[in-house]
């Protein structure tokens, strides 16, 4: 392995752990964050200045506006031959635009979907990357440091955008897998024929068709709070599930299970359901069925 | 028209109105109800006794146990040549059993699905009946009195069970139609590009593809409470939606929209969603995503 | 009523019938179509030239590119004080853009969602319009000619975009209503307890909760082909169902029944289902379950 | 470990492998199958006769009629103190009935859900069992032989029925997980931004949130047939998915993702979709939209 330098922008929960894993592999990381307590430098300009060329700069900030403004600024700071990696959760349709903006300055662009969450520091991060092989080659030592041991965990998925597209689909699948376990868990908890639902989940961790890392996490969660009584049934979504469904609709691909999982999250965040008010109102109109008042 | 006698058991919201509509048509109705204030006689025995043979007795009590016990009692009271109509919301799979029990005493059986709700008294009740033509013929004057004017509103759907089966499917369709309007209404209310959602609904009552009686009722409901603020988004289900989905599953028929509508009702009745607790727990486990506490 | 002039661009199935209905109401219509056999004038320039100011021009061409190029051309031909109506199936998010482009030339813009299909000529067209009241007022005599008799069938839904948004939601509801009847019909046809499914549908046209215009059309269809044996189960979609779901996703509104209906159409157009190949492959992998070969 | 004797009825794909795994663990298995080439004895009577008491007999035949008739026969052959295990895919609601039938003869009953498929011989079988602890204790050495190494893979889930109930829910979850990967795979294959979908799947096997045994199997399947071109998109179901949904409906638990997965299988087995014929017919009725003919 050849040790190399990396500029890393965004040192939050993900970025901070990634810096640590890359450093453990022997590379030099110069990190920037708006929070000066986390940062190694005080500005993007300083970060760029401290890196030897050809530079590799990894952007790990929220998708949309924040990523766009970092890329805009880097386009003005970096030099031809440098490479930018967008490792955030950008929508894949933004990647081509970013690649063109940087290419106009002779700067390469790689989009990298990163999976692994809080476990990535120890287990490694799965990486799905898109872009030209020559640009990817410049980042490869960093990818090798981040990825898990073994053959899996890294793929050059295609041209620019293919990395984020792959990660987006990964997350869509993740939604439906989580929903699958969740539905099964609720059914077991509700029916009551099973004495100890947690032990059933635990038993599934070996030999079954449904064993998985998510199942292991479910057992962890049940060990912390057997009936999840401390939680509210409220689930956020970070955008990638939505984009997955929208990509499916654009391509006339039916995604019933993934979409059901997305909608279940939407519904979980409603204090009351407007659509079910209408259903209740209609039942009352035609059948005189009792309704519940809002108060 | 020949005026006839009918014994009517169950004088609740539906049965009471039906008695009135049948009487308006010139027939004699002897009604029994557990509530003596509604009843014309004080027992089933008295009801049977007061009817001239061959008797027609219409059962209009809740499905399951109550219907079963009335039929059991009638089997012991009625005579060969008499006819029992089950006009309640019995599961169609019960009808054959009831028919056999009564046939053993020489008593005919007709199952009748009845639609119309609180509007039936004025508009007429739609009737879907199952059974032998000879038994149905004995009840026909009553069916004619109950049904709406015009050609539609009555069908001999097939052998015993076909009436309730047709009504069950009717209700499954009803679930999905109500859900359709409800989803559209919520979307209009949420997005806010439309100034007056109620007026959009009202405008749809003529010329559109989606005009219907349920739409008229939706407009009524919005006229009473423009944003349905006085209601909670809580919708009961009376069993027929469930049976529709179960019949579909037994016959490997996919029913995605009807089933989605049924599940939306189930979810509307949960104070908190166990499955979404699990989804929240999993998101927290792998990504450190914040959760909301149950309190 | 004051007779007025209208320029009408696009004289296809919808536009042609609309011209006829407007003329029957006593207005003058100057129509343009790329097909000279249908057109009254040979170019947009000629159409504009023949109309007295202040002009009203109704665009009735396919959404997207065709509508955009007609609006571009009209922006260069019309004069301040003129008004353009987009009566096509444009995506509501295009309306603001079109309004601004025309407003820069002093030209008003109204978006009009039009429902009614091949029945509109006789029954009238339901109209949902968006835009400023002053622009709508200039078109009102035309709207009055097109709409059905009676109070319903026309609504000023809100500002620019609200007309097409309302029509889009109308179509989403339409998808789920059609799916509702279709699912019920398949279940009745499959289970076989009902002797004559068509007569059950016919009976539902009076007195039931599910009576509607779509139900009347279903009976028409069954009268033409009792078991729909002459048709393939293949259903196109025109875009508005997709946009409805996308609008819902953008606003975190769950639309399970409408989305299920959209996905059923997508699936109906697949000769073979890639996702079910994967399910079959997985079943074979873990259980040795037999698969069917592609041949 | 104490070596014990087991009577095993049903030596098909599952039963045959289980016999082999139990024997490898040092126990004696006397197997019966209707196919004499597989069987060690020629009748149930001979099997019972050859076992020393107290006997343990494991039934591994198809659910429903076949299981019922084996249990009926065993009730007449076995002696008080013997134990019957139903390791087939029986519906959990049958278990109580079987337990009572056998208890009347003093025979114990244990229901065992078994997962592991063709991989169980090498990896071990996951076991979810229901029944009284004293009956389970008698079978424990066999359970220990069958289960995978390590702590997981076995659970006493509750009283009679809890084993099959747990396995049923396991299979419901399995349906939705398979559907999740299948939907993601179809989207990747359809959109085309990803050059090599198989390599993306392979990369997901480490570090991702969605790594699982099913994912490993998906990669195996793609290695055998990269685009699954040799398969038809046709997926059977073995009953447990249906029972899962029915149990949910009985308990008012919404299961949108699992049910969507079940319905996708139903649809995959239809040559043409009746419901989509109706949708096509309705579109044609109101809009004159072209339909495709059945031929």
CATH number at residue A124: 3.40.50.720
Does a structural domain hold residue D278? no
**Torsion over CA: A128, A129, A134, A135 (sign):** negative
Phi, psi (deg, nearest 5) at residue A242: -60, -45
Query: Do residue B67 and residue B195 come from a single domain?
Result: no
Q: Where a domain ends, among D130, D160, D190?
A: D160
Determine which of D207, D218, D244 to mutate to test the interface with A (most A C-beta atoms within 10 Å). Answer: D207
Closest CA to C204 of C184, C190, C175: C184
> The sheet that has A56-59: what strands, in order across it?
A28-32, A5-9, A56-59, A83-86, A108-115, A126-130, A154-158
Tokens representing residue C276 in the block: 């079910």
Closest CA to D166 of D132, D131, D129, D117: D129
Question: Which portions of chain C are predicted below pLDDT 50?
Answer: none
Residues of C in contact with B267 (CB under 8 A): none
Three-state DSSP at A293 gives strand
Does a structural domain hold residue B282? no
Reported residue count of chain A is: 295
Q: For the residues A255-284, what does the mean pLDDT come to?
A: 97
Q: Where a domain ends, among B111, B137, B160?
A: B160
Residues of D in contact with B249 (CB under 8 A): 242, 245-246, 262
Residue A221, CA distances (Å) to A14, A187, A191 in order: 21, 17, 21
Please identify which of the residues A174, A186, A226, A229 carries the catalytic annotation: A174
CA D173 to chain centre: 12
Q: Given this model, what pLDDT does residue B1 score?
A: 61
Does a structural domain hold residue C56? yes
> So what's the ipTM on this one?
0.96
Q: Given this model, what pLDDT does residue D1 score?
A: 61
Residues of D in contact with B242 (CB under 8 A): 249-250
Kindly report the number of other CB atoms within 10 A of residue A72's CB atom: 13
Of A115, A187, A256, the CB nearest to D255: A187
Tokens representing residue C30 in the block: 């100057």
CA torsion angle B160 B165 B170 B175 (round to 10) = 150
Of B246, B255, B266, the CB nearest to D253: B266
Residue carrying the six token digits 């269809």: C221
Query: Do residue A198 and residue A255 come from a single domain?
Result: yes
Does a structural domain hold residue B12? yes
Query: Do residue A30 and residue A53 come from a single domain?
Result: yes
Q: Given this model, what pLDDT does residue D149 score?
A: 95
Three-state DSSP at C118 gives helix
Quickly state the pLDDT bin for A117 (edges 50, 70, 90).
confident
Tokens representing residue D54 in the block: 């107290």
**CB-based burial label for D257 (10 Å; 0-12, 13-18, 19+):** buried
- Percent of chain A at pLDDT exceeding 70: 99
Helix ranges, B51-132 (H):
65-77, 92-103, 120-123
Q: Given this model, what pLDDT does residue B295 score?
A: 64
Does a structural domain hold residue B295? no
By C-alpha distance, the chain B residue nearest C219 is B152
**How many distinct structural domains can be found in chain D?**
2
Kindly report the number of other CB atoms within 10 A of residue C1's CB atom: 9
> The sheet that has D108-115: what strands, in order across it?
D28-32, D5-9, D56-59, D83-86, D108-115, D126-130, D154-158
Interface list for D 27-56 with A (CB within 8 A)? none
Query: Do residue A149 and residue A174 come from a single domain?
Result: no
Please determine, for residue A104, whether its predicted confidence score (pLDDT) is greater than 80.
Answer: yes
Residue A209 distance to chain B (closest CA, Å): 19
Query: Do residue A193 and residue A142 come from a single domain?
Result: no
Average of per-residue pLDDT values in chain B: 96
For chain D, give the secondary structure using H, E and C: CCCCEEEEECCCHHHHHHHHHHHHCCCEEEEECCCCCCCCCCCHHHHHHHCCCCCEEEECCCCCHHHHHHHHHHHHHCCCCCEEEECCCCCHHHHHHHHHHHHCCCCEEEEEEEECHHHHHHHCCEEEEECCHHHHHHHHHHHHHHCCCCCCCEEEEECCCHHHHHHHHHHHHHHHHHHHHHHHHHHHHHHCCCCCHHHHHHHCCCCCCCCEHHHHHHHHHHHHCCCCCCECCCCCCCCHHHHHHHHHHHCCCCCHHHHHHHHHHHHHCCCCCHHHHHHHHHHHHHHCCCCCECC
Query: Which residue range is the domain that position C234 belongs to?
Result: 168-273
By C-alpha distance, the chain B residue nearest D243 is B249
Q: Given this model, what pLDDT does residue A179 score?
A: 98
Residues of D in contact with B263 (CB under 8 A): 254-256, 259
Please determine, for residue B265, whether its predicted confidence score (pLDDT) is greater than 70.
Answer: yes
Residues of C in contact with D293 (CB under 8 A): 230-232
Q: Given this model, what pLDDT does residue C1 score?
A: 61
Q: For the residues A235-251, what does the mean pLDDT come to?
A: 96
pLDDT of C230-287, one tens digit each?
Answer: 999 999 998 999 999 999 999 999 999 999 999 999 999 999 999 999 999 999 999 8
Q: Given this model, what pLDDT does residue C117 score?
A: 85
Contact status of C187 with chain B (Cβ, < 8 Å): yes
Please determine, for residue D288, whether its predicted confidence score (pLDDT) is greater than 90.
Answer: no
Please determine, for residue A1, whether its predicted confidence score (pLDDT) is greater than 70.
Answer: no
Quickly state the pLDDT bin for A290 (edges 50, 70, 90).
confident
Does a structural domain hold residue B42? yes
Contact between A82 and A53 (Cβ < 8 Å): yes
**Residue D260's CATH number:** 1.10.1040.10
Contact status of C103 with chain A (Cβ, < 8 Å): no
Contacts of C225 (CB under 8 A, 6+ apart): C231, D281
Q: Given this model, what pLDDT does residue B51 score?
A: 98
Q: CA C55, CA C8: separation in Å to the nearest integer? A: 11
Reported residue count of chain B is: 295
Cα-Cα end-to-end distance for chain D: 66
Contact status of B169 with chain A (Cβ, < 8 Å): no
Please identify which of the residues C46, C174, C229, C295 carries the catalytic annotation: C174
Q: For the residues D268-285, what does the mean pLDDT come to?
A: 96
Residue A159: active-site member: no
Contact status of B115 with chain C (Cβ, < 8 Å): yes
Query: Do residue A56 and residue A104 come from a single domain?
Result: yes
Q: Given this model, what pLDDT does residue D265 score?
A: 98
A191 contacts D251? CB cut-off 8 A: yes
Q: CA A40, CA A33: separation in Å to the nearest integer? A: 8
Average of per-residue pLDDT values in chain A: 96
Does a structural domain hold residue D286? no
Determine which of A93, A243, A256 to mutate to test the interface with C (most C C-beta atoms within 10 Å). Answer: A256
pLDDT of D149-166, one tens digit each?
Answer: 999 999 999 999 999 999
Three-state DSSP at C32 gives strand
Query: Do residue B218 and residue B75 come from a single domain?
Result: no
Q: Given this model, what pLDDT does residue D39 score?
A: 97
Query: Do residue A175 and residue A149 come from a single domain?
Result: no
A256 contacts C260? CB cut-off 8 A: yes
Q: Given this model, what pLDDT does residue A206 score?
A: 97
CA C290 to chain centre: 44
Contact status of B118 with chain C (Cβ, < 8 Å): no
Determine which of A125, A127, A187 to mutate to test the interface with D (most D C-beta atoms within 10 Å). Answer: A187
Contact status of B250 with chain A (Cβ, < 8 Å): no
Give chains near A: 3+ CB pairs under 8 A: B, C, D
Does a structural domain hold residue C202? yes
Query: Do residue C123 and residue C210 come from a single domain?
Result: no
Query: Do residue B108 and residue B205 come from a single domain?
Result: no
Query: Do residue C172 and residue C213 come from a single domain?
Result: yes
Contact between B9 and B51 (Cβ < 8 Å): no
Residues of B in contact with D266 (CB under 8 A): 252-254
**Torsion over CA: D6, D12, D16, D18 (sign):** negative
Contact status of B232 with chain A (Cβ, < 8 Å): yes
Q: Given this model, what pLDDT does residue B114 score?
A: 97
Please determine, for residue D295, whether its predicted confidence score (pLDDT) is greater than 80.
Answer: no
Residue D131, CA distances (Å) to A71, A289, D70, D103 in order: 63, 43, 19, 12
Determine which of B173, B247, B254, B277 to mutate to test the interface with D (most D C-beta atoms within 10 Å). Answer: B254
Residue carrying the six token digits 């509700």: A190
Q: Where a domain ends, among B102, B129, B160?
A: B160
Query: Do residue C34 and residue C141 come from a single domain?
Result: yes
Contacts of B221 (CB under 8 A, 6+ apart): A278, A281, A282, A284, A285, B228
The vertex-D190 CA angle with D189 and D194, nearest 5°, equals 55
Residue carrying the six token digits 């869509």: A172
- Percent of chain D at pLDDT exceeding 90: 94
pLDDT of A167-226, one tens digit each?
Answer: 999 999 999 999 999 999 999 999 989 999 999 999 999 999 999 999 999 999 999 999
Contacts of B66 (CB under 8 A, 6+ apart): none
């Amino acid at each position: 392995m050849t040790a190399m330098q990396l500029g890393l922008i965004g040192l939050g929960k993900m970025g901070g752990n990634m810096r640590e894993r890359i450093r453990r592999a022997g590379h030099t990381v110069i990190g920037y964050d708006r929070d000066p307590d986390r940062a190694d430098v005080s500005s993007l300009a300083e970060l760029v200045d401290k890196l030897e060329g050809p530079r590799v700069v990894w952007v790990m900030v929220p998708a949309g506006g924040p990523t766009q403004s970092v890329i805009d600024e880097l386009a003005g700071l970096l030099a031809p031959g440098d490479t930018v990696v967008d490792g955030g959760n950008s929508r894949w349709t933004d990647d081509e635009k970013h690649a063109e903006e940087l290419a106009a300055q002779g700067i390469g662009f790689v989009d990298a979907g990163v999976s692994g969450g809080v476990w990535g520091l120890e287990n490694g991060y799965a990486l799905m990357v898109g872009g030209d092989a020559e640009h990817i080659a410049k980042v490869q030592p960093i990818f090798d440091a981040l990825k898990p041991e073994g053959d899996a965990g890294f793929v050059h998925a295609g041209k620019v955008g293919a990395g984020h597209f792959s990660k987006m689909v990964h997350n869509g699948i993740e939604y439906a897998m989580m929903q699958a376990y969740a539905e099964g868990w609720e059914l077991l908890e509700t029916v009551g024929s099973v004495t100890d639902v947690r032990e059933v989940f635990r038993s599934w961790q070996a030999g079954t068709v449904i064993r998985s890392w998510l199942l292991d996490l479910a057992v962890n969660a049940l060990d912390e709070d057997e009936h999840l009584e401390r939680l509210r049934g409220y689930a956020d979504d970070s955008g990638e599930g939505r984009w997955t469904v929208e990509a499916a609709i654009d391509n006339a691909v039916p995604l019933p299970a993934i979409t059901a999982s997305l909608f279940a999250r939407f519904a979980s965040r409603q204090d009351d359901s407007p659509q079910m008010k209408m259903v209740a109102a209609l039942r009352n109109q035609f059948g005189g069925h009792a309704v519940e008042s809002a108060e």
